[in-house]
Amino acid sequence: QPEFEVVGEACDGLGALELARRLRPEVVVADVSMPGLNGIELVRRLLAEVPGTRVLSLSVHDEERLVLAMIEAGAAGYVLKGASFSDLVNGIREVMAGRVYLSPSLVSLFLHQHRARRGRRVASSATVALTGRERELVQLFSEGFSTSEIAELLHLSAKTVATHRENI
């Protein structure tokens, strides 16, 4: 792309870090899995040692935990190696502009995983029902009544109310 200039290439994470220290690039494109220094640690060290450099991960790994680890380390974007060339170019442009970028295929994958997890949580939470007394206590607690006030109001011991609260 005419607006990009490749200023260096490295075979491993340590080489990438050394080049970035010397060349001070705007964007570093790095993999999660690299010999010498993995991408997650590279991102952490790059951001600490070469301020202002932005990192775009380009990787075959689409596992949520690895993508999130790169983002949490400070990567500004993540593109899958199987993505189109235009996806990589868009990722570099977005990262250079100070924005965050995720491959559309990753967004789609994460959305499906999130919906599946949410569906499992809803299904499992639907099987856990509060008793009538517990629903009554939830209402009273939400209205601001204390344990002792509820105990007095419902003619229960404070210990019984506390036990219900723990069960809830």
Sign of CA dihedral 11, 45, 83, 4: negative
Q: What is the pLDDT along the chain (168 residues), one digit of tens a residue?
A: 999 999 999 999 999 999 999 999 999 999 999 998 899 999 999 999 999 999 999 999 988 888 889 999 999 999 999 888 999 999 999 999 999 999 888 887 777 776 777 766 555 554 567 777 887 788 788 878 888 998 998 888 999 988 888 888
Strands 101-102, 54-59: pairing is: unpaired
> Residue 119's pLDDT is what?
65
DSSP E strand boundaries for 94-146: 101-102
> Residue 65's pLDDT is what?
85
Q: Which two tokens stand for residue 148?
A: 């002792």
> Residue 75's pLDDT is what?
96
> Residue 122's pLDDT is what?
53
> Residue 115's pLDDT is what?
76
> Residue 166's pLDDT is what?
84
Contact 126, 118 (CB under 8 A): no
